[in-house]
């Protein structure tokens, strides 16, 4: 039994981007941690997720020595395009605010993070199930879990809940202290990965009377496209032919003409939701990333928020171990939430602006939506505000 008892400073539950980056940042501060992940390493490394890194997030990754492959394999984009009324409106980040984003898949970043954990010899206990927490109101919490048929217990000073949208750690914040905020959007995104060159050299977010579409990419030979579908759609409702027809229809004709299609190599249906749970901490448990908040993918903020949360949390833990003061840990939740809500607002705004809301929007709402797009087209001030939010609020 003693063999299955470990002691560490911070037990990190969840080995997605939030958990693995946190463990790495803590190591840079000389703080030990163990990462407990439910899935297998290969499963986590194979997940296809979004791929837009904000300006400040990219800088942070470089500053901590994780920027090398991002800079070699990623693409700097100086702007993004909104399609409506048959043409493109470019939001020129570089010209408006001297910022950019980096197109680099979360899948690639996850690989970089696991490589960094391996190099730093930080334990990643994958295939760990049935995580339970004890004693988070005291000074020596424990994390218990099953791994390969055996029960393990980790004693620690702090627990980081980085276990994503279906995680268990948020349940340890008492309901009486917890307040949740939610908005469900009445549609889904259908996404495909296509082994073809991207239709455009920058992203295109399209508002069409029949619904939203997005043209994104992974590299010169690999494109990522999305179209808005109905709330109850499944992957089977979207054979490739229907997907490509719908996408073409929703793009400006001159763009659609250059679209290269092929049999898709990955297809997903994803619901859209805004969700925030406050506070992000209780006792010695601190939540970060999707475990605490969800944004719809419009605006690609999910990964960036996971990174800003763990950046704040690593600073606060570093201060605690350096000075003994828990002050920064006590303000972690407020500090993280203040940035989270700005991204929640922006993702909600972009979702409202770009989608068709069947049964919700009437003619008035559609006029307002169209007017907002025309306002962006006509006002540099409006474009600058959008650029600032898309390229990312400061950390």
Point out which residues bind ligand PHB (CB under 6 A).
50-52, 203, 214, 216, 224, 297-300
Q: Is 354 near ligand APR (CB under 6 A)? A: no
The residue number whose beta carbon is nearest to ligand PHB equals: 216
Determine the Cα–Cα distance for residues 294 and 275; give it in Å rounded to an integer: 5
Active site (annotated) includes residue 239 = no
User: Under rule CB under 6 A, how many of the chain's residues touch ligand APR?
Assistant: 28
392 binds, among ligand PHB, ligand APR, none (CB under 5 to 8 A by kind): none
Instruction: Give ∠ CA 174-343-68 in degrees, rounded to 5.
Output: 105
Q: Is 247 near ligand APR (CB under 6 A)? A: no
Active-site annotation holder among 77, 152, 208, 355: 77
Q: Is 147 near ligand APR (CB under 6 A)? A: no
Structural element, H or E, at residue 136: none
Active site (annotated) includes residue 205 = yes
Q: Is 148 near ligand APR (CB under 6 A)? A: no
Instruction: Give the gyration radius of the chain's Cα atoms.
Output: 22
Active-site annotation holder among 301, 311, 332, 355: 301
Q: What's the N-to-C CA distance of the chain in angstroms? A: 44
Q: Is 278 near ligand APR (CB under 6 A)? A: no
Q: Is 299 near ligand APR (CB under 6 A)? A: no
Structure tokens at 375: 């306002």
Residue 163: CB minimum distance to ligand APR, A: 4
Active-site annotation holder among 205, 225, 312, 332: 205
Nearest C-alpha neighbor of 255 from the set 193, 201, 209, 174: 201
- Looking at beta carbons only, is 15 or 198 nearer to ligand APR? 15
Q: Is 39 near ligand APR (CB under 6 A)? A: yes
Active-site annotation holder among 185, 297, 311, 332: 297
Only one of the segments 25-33, 159-167, 319-327, 365-373 lies at the binding site for ligand APR (rule: CB under 6 A); that segment is 159-167
Among 7, 9, 48, 49, binds ligand APR (CB under 6 A): 49
Q: Is 279 helix (H, G, I), strand (E, B) or coil?
A: coil
- Looking at beta carbons only, is 9 or 270 nearer to ligand PHB? 270
Active site (annotated) includes residue 367 = no
Residue 223: CB minimum distance to ligand PHB, A: 9
- Looking at beta carbons only, is 128 or 351 nearer to ligand APR? 128
Q: Is 13 near ligand APR (CB under 6 A)? A: yes
Q: Is 17 near ligand APR (CB under 6 A)? A: yes
* Catalytic residue list: 77, 205, 297, 301, 390
């Amino acid at each position: 039994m003693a063999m299955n008892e470990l002691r560490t400073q911070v037990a990190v539950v969840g080995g997605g981007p939030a958990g693995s980056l946190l463990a790495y940042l803590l190591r840079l501060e000389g703080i030990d941690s163990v990462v407990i992940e439910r899935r297998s390493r290969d499963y986590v490394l194979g997940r296809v997720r979004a791929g837009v890194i904000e300006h400040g997030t990219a800088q942070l990754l470089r500053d901590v020595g994780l920027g090398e492959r991002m800079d070699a394999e990623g693409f700097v984009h100086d702007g993004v395009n909104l399609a409506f009324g048959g043409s493109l409106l470019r939001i020129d980040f570089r010209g408006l605010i001297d910022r950019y984003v980096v197109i680099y898949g979360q899948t690639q970043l996850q690989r970089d993070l696991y490589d960094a954990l391996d190099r730093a010899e930080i334990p990643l206990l994958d295939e760990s199930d049935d995580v339970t927490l004890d004693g988070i109101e005291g000074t020596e919490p424990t994390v218990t879990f099953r791994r390969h048929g055996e029960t393990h217990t980790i004693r620690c000073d702090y627990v980081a809940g980085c276990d994503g949208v279906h995680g268990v750690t948020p349940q340890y914040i008492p309901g009486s202290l917890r307040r949740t905020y939610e908005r469900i959007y009445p549609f889904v995104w259908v996404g495909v990965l296509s082994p073809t060159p991207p239709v455009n050299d920058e992203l295109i977010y399209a508002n069409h009377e029949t619904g939203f579409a997005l043209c994104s990419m992974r590299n010169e030979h690999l494109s990522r496209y999305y179209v808005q579908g109905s709330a109850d759609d499944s992957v089977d409702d979207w054979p490739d032919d229907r997907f490509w027809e719908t996408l073409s229809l929703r793009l400006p004709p001159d763009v659609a003409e250059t679209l290269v299609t092929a049999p898709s190599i990955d297809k997903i249906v994803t619901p859209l939701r805004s969700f925030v749970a406050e506070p992000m901490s209780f006792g010695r448990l601190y939540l970060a990333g999707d475990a605490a908040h969800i944004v719809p993918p419009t605006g690609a903020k999910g990964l960036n928020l996971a990174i800003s949360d763990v950046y704040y949390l690593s600073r606060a833990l570093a201060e605690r171990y350096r000075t003994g003061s828990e002050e920064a840990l006590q303000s972690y939740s407020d500090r993280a939430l203040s940035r989270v809500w700005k991204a929640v607002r922006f993702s909600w705004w972009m979702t409202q602006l770009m989608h068709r809301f069947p049964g919700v929007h009437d003619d008035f709402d559609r006029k307002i939506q169209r007017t907002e797009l025309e306002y962006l087209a006509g006002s540099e001030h409006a474009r600058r505000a959008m650029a600032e939010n898309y390229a990312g609020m400061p950390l």
